[in-house]
Amino acid sequence: MNKRIVFGSGLLCIFFFCTFLISIPRKGERKWDFLYEIKNHNGTPTLFIEGKPSFYGTWWTAAPEENTWIRSDFARDNAVDTGIHIYAFDVGRLEWAGPTDGRSSHFDFSSVGARYKQVLDVDPDARFHLRIYLEMHEGFRKWWHDLYPDEVEVCSDGSQYRQSFASQVWRKQAKDFLRAYIHHLQKIGLAHKVVSYQVGAGHTGEWVKGKISMYDLTGDYSKPMVQHFRDWIKKHYKGDLQFFQRAWNDTEVTFEKAPVPSDMEQFRTDHFTFRNPSKEQNVIDYYRCLADLCSDLVIDFCQTVKQATSGRSLAGAFYGYLMELAWNAGFFSEGPDSEYSTYQRSGHLGLMKVLNSPDVDFLVSPYSYGFRGIGGEGCSMLPTESLRIHNKLYLFEDDTRTHTDDHPAYGRAMNLYETQAILRRNLAYVLTHGQGIWWLVNKGAVLTDLEPAFTPMLKQFQEIGEYALQTDRAPSAEVAVLLDDESFFYQTVKNDLDFPLIFKQRLTGLARMGAPYDVYLLDDFLKGRLRPYKLYIFLNAFRLNDSRREALKKELRREGRVAVWIYAPGYIKDTPNLGNMADLTGIQFAKNEHPWPAYLYFTQFEHPITANLTQDLIWGTDSRLGPQFYIDDPEADILGQVVFAQGTCKPGFGLKTFPAWTSIYCAVPNIPSTVLRKIAKFAKVHLYSDKGDILYATPNLFGVHTLAGGTRTFHLPNKVEVVYDLFENEVVAKNTESFDLILKPATTSLYYTGEEGLLNHLKNHP
């Protein structure tokens, strides 16, 4: 026999034998024989466990300790009864402990197995969602600050604040920690129990640097960030020094000496509410660099998780709060009030890059802090429909302050009746948007030793969540709301515009117009990823270059679509210009450059949009916006006037109808629900009701949260075999396109609307 053949065969045998040995689990170690993944199911991204679609219902609880777990009694009493077996809790603080007790490694996993055993002892079916805290908090990780003083963030007042996001030392150590933690879980046979790893840095792990994004400070002036910014600039401008100097309008600046913008530069804008790129490109570039850095970190850490788990567990983060970040430290009463928002200084503006990453499976946020109480809107902080397009699951953090809480903040419910309505409202939002949810298990939240009624309530929620997986879960709204992450770079960091235009608009106007709506990032629309809608509401499409502008026109100007523009659509291209607005909207404009609050009222009541509205309907903002824009177009149909400085009244609400589309302009933000409802009807959007309740809908689910209650007639878009009350377990109507109800005040209802046969799959169906 040929010696080379024998030798080659021997090597092959050795290779397979070694592979076999590697595949044998060591003592206490479990093979990678599990799989958690996100796949599209019935129209929306869904958690799959071992190939089976599962509702992502989760307890958010205190982390177990080595010898005790303060929630053990809760889990013992509720896990089996409710069917909720996923536990989310914080890890990393104890494990990334630093070089203490003579230990050379910064990591200590010695108590991990014992701590997880505390949960498994009371719930053997438990699975884990690990919120991994990677921030170098100066309180319990002061040792890191002492070891690496040059890697710590520097604020505009000269103070230091935790690690710089640009620190390569921290970034490498964080990835080493993730790999080591996952390897340890594999070694002790617990890796198969971990559904998700959620990577977190910044204040509370939410990728927001509290001190320099929510206060009247700026950053980051540390050596790592200064160098990172200079490297980013050189790459961004492709090493072309002249191109860079022209952009910054500075013939002296170089790639090697470009500074992080000062606090004065970051807080000031050259053109009232907006930044003029010809004069302030340095600030625009810095905020874009920060967004790129934060999104890169999220992606890098998630990629580390996916590689370390061989893609068997999920990876995600708190990130993308673009419907919410108008707030600041004053809103939370955690520091001195300020007039600034958190948008540009938070790094969350890198959301689109995160959505495009195949290594990110899910994103999380608390639900909006803005209006949580009875009659309020329990909506996400993210443009959640963009997550669906990119096959990302959104997890809704329900940290409702129930009636058992003794703190009055965050829309605390006053009694069990209100608590039930709020928790039901939040579930209705989650299920009609195809999301997952975790419930806070803490004092003042859903602890059953404080309120026994929570156990049957959460059991029902989990059963309805599982049942909803079998329904048509695709979006069915006919209204698309578009948010432009790009435009934030070109506006003031003050919250004068963000608060009324985005934060308040969705909590008061959009939520109550009588029809569901979907929120997307504008670039998803520009790239043709959206299904057709009848009405498109552009919240902040202020800055569009030539390519984005032409893409918007191509997508919008067809099929009879109706667009609503607010305040300054398309105003900035290379520089701010009224011609840019006319080019985008098809309407001619003029402006007043004296900043002042602005209000709008109707002057023409014969148009379908204004018919039957009352003359005392006046809305707007107390913020000083500038410039103030108004319509200056003899071909436009003028329906209302805007009032601004010196009591000047100019055409501020009007429209133009073109052969393939209609353009509607409103000069002030925060359009009320009554006006949005009339616009939607004009656009032939299906309206379920005109009573101002908060409504959610899919092809098979319909939710309503009401404050006033009373007699209602709800109109469905199609005839259905049955309308079934999922909370009250009763048939409401059969073979109908509409149904009548008497709603109790301060309640939430959720109905199945579809074929009667599917009800047989509902566990609590009588």
Q: What is the pLDDT of residues 470-485, one digit of tens each?
A: 999 999 999 999 999 9
Among the ranges given (20-34, 77-91, 220-234, 412-426), the one the predictor scored with the smallest mean pLDDT: 20-34
Q: Are residue 539 and residue 589 in the same domain, yes or no?
A: yes
**Is residue 351 assigned to a domain?**
yes
364, two tokens = 């999380």
> How do residues 628-659 score in pLDDT, each as one tens digit?
999 999 999 999 999 999 999 999 999 999 99
Q: Are residue 382 and residue 457 in the same domain, yes or no?
A: yes
Give dist(CA 669, CA 599) in Å, integer.
Answer: 9
- At 30 the pLDDT is 53
> How do residues 274-315 score in pLDDT, each as one tens digit?
999 999 999 999 999 999 999 999 999 999 999 999 999 999
Domain ends where: 625, 660, 682? Answer: 682
- At 379 the pLDDT is 96
Domain ends where: 422, 438, 468? Answer: 468
Q: Are residue 576 and residue 723 in the same domain, yes or no?
A: no
Q: Average pLDDT for residues 352-369, to the nearest whole number?
A: 98
Give dist(CA 628, CA 592) in Å, integer.
Answer: 5
* Per-residue exposure over 32-64, b if at least 16 CB sit within 10 Å of its own CB, e if not: eebebebeebbbbbbbeeeeeebbbbbbbbebb
pLDDT of 13 higher than 60: no
Q: Are residue 150 and residue 98 in the same domain, yes or no?
A: yes
Q: Are the CB atoms for 499 and 95 separated by under 8 Å?
A: no
Q: Average pLDDT for residues 103-117, to the nearest whole number?
A: 90
Q: Are residue 443 and residue 489 in the same domain, yes or no?
A: no
Confidence band, pLDDT 50/70/90 cuts, at residue 381: very high
Q: Are residue 652 and residue 593 in the same domain, yes or no?
A: yes
Among all chains, which residue has been given the structure tokens 């089996």? Answer: 80
- At 33 the pLDDT is 78
Residue 710's CATH number: 2.60.40.1180
> How do residues 165-184 score in pLDDT, each as one tens digit?
999 999 999 999 999 999 99
- At 761 the pLDDT is 80
Side chain identity at residue 255, one-letter code: F
**Is residue 11 assigned to a domain?**
no
Count the Cβ atoms, other than its own, within 10 Å of residue 657: 15
Nearest CA to 442 out of 450, 434, 453, 452 is that of: 450
Q: Which backbone phi and psi does 72 adopt, to 5 degrees?
A: -65, -45
- At 25 the pLDDT is 45
- At 751 the pLDDT is 98
Residues spanned by the domain of 537: 479-682
**Is residue 31 assigned to a domain?**
no
Q: Are residue 596 and residue 626 in the same domain, yes or no?
A: yes
Q: How far is CA 379 from CA 369, 390, 421, 637, 750, in A?
A: 9, 20, 15, 35, 16
Q: Are the CB atoms for 129 and 135 separated by under 8 Å?
A: no
- At 114 the pLDDT is 95
**Alpha helices (runs of H) in 322-415, residue ranges in sequence order:** 329-332, 343-346, 351-355, 384-389
| 321 contacts: CB under 8 Å, gap ≥ 6 | 206, 208, 346, 348, 365, 381, 382
Q: How far is CA 53 from CA 129, 213, 467, 698, in A?
A: 17, 39, 11, 19
Q: Average pLDDT for residues 567-579, to the nearest whole number?
A: 96
Give dist(CA 602, CA 265) in Å, integer.
Answer: 39
Q: Average pLDDT for residues 435-461, to the nearest whole number?
A: 91
pLDDT averaged over the chain?
Answer: 93
> How do residues 657-683 score in pLDDT, each as one tens digit?
999 999 999 999 999 999 999 999 999
Side chain identity at residue 5, one-letter code: I
Q: Are residue 668 and residue 725 in the same domain, yes or no?
A: no
Among the ranges given (198-212, 329-343, 537-551, 653-667), the one the predictor scored with the smallest mean pLDDT: 329-343
Q: Average pLDDT for residues 120-146, to the nearest whole number?
A: 95
Q: Are residue 508 and residue 457 in the same domain, yes or no?
A: no
0.75 cut: is pTM over it?
yes
Among all chains, which residue has been given the structure tokens 């103070």? Answer: 159
249, two tokens = 């309008």
**Dihedral of the CA atoms 341, 347, 348, 352 (nearest 10)?**
140
Give dist(CA 46, CA 393) in Å, integer.
Answer: 6
Confidence band, pLDDT 50/70/90 cuts, at residue 32: low
Give dist(CA 420, CA 403) in Å, integer.
Answer: 10
439, two tokens = 């419930």
Secondary structure (3-state) at 431: helix
**Is residue 14 assigned to a domain?**
no
- At 494 the pLDDT is 93
Structural domains of the chain, count: 3
**Is residue 5 assigned to a domain?**
no
Give dist(CA 161, CA 672) in Å, integer.
Answer: 41
Q: Average pLDDT for residues 684-707, to the nearest whole number?
A: 97
389, two tokens = 């397009």
Q: Are residue 460 and residue 569 in the same domain, yes or no?
A: no
Q: Are the CB atoms for 274 and 572 separated by under 8 Å?
A: yes
> How do residues 706-760 score in pLDDT, each as one tens digit?
999 999 999 999 999 999 999 999 999 999 999 999 999 999 999 999 999 998 8
- At 530 the pLDDT is 98
DSSP string, 48-117: EETTEEE--EEEE-PPP-SS--TTHHHHHHHHHHH---EEEEEESTTTB--S-TT-SSSB--TTHHHHHH
- At 445 the pLDDT is 87
> How do residues 402-424 score in pLDDT, each as one tens digit?
999 988 889 999 999 999 999 99
> In DSSP terms, which residues pair with 543 in a beta bridge?
572
**Is residue 26 assigned to a domain?**
no
Give dist(CA 232, CA 66) in Å, integer.
Answer: 44
Count the Cβ atoms, other than its own, within 10 Å of residue 31: 12
**Is residue 1 assigned to a domain?**
no
Side chain identity at residue 316, one-letter code: G
**Is residue 630 assigned to a domain?**
yes
Domain ends where: 436, 468, 500? Answer: 468
Residue 305's CATH number: 3.20.20.80
Count the Cβ atoms, other than its own, within 10 Å of residue 516: 23
Residue 554's CATH number: 3.40.50.880
Confidence band, pLDDT 50/70/90 cuts, at residue 210: confident
Nearest CA to 397 out of 457, 466, 319 is that of: 319
- At 448 the pLDDT is 79
pLDDT of 507 higher than 60: yes
Q: Average pLDDT for residues 14-42, to the nearest whole number?
A: 62
Q: Are residue 546 and residue 676 in the same domain, yes or no?
A: yes
Taking 3-state DSSP, the helix, strand and coil percentages for the chain, each rounded to the nearest 5, stand at 35, 25, 40
- At 7 the pLDDT is 42
Q: Are residue 577 and residue 490 in the same domain, yes or no?
A: yes
Q: Average pLDDT for residues 130-144, to the nearest whole number?
A: 93
- At 4 the pLDDT is 44
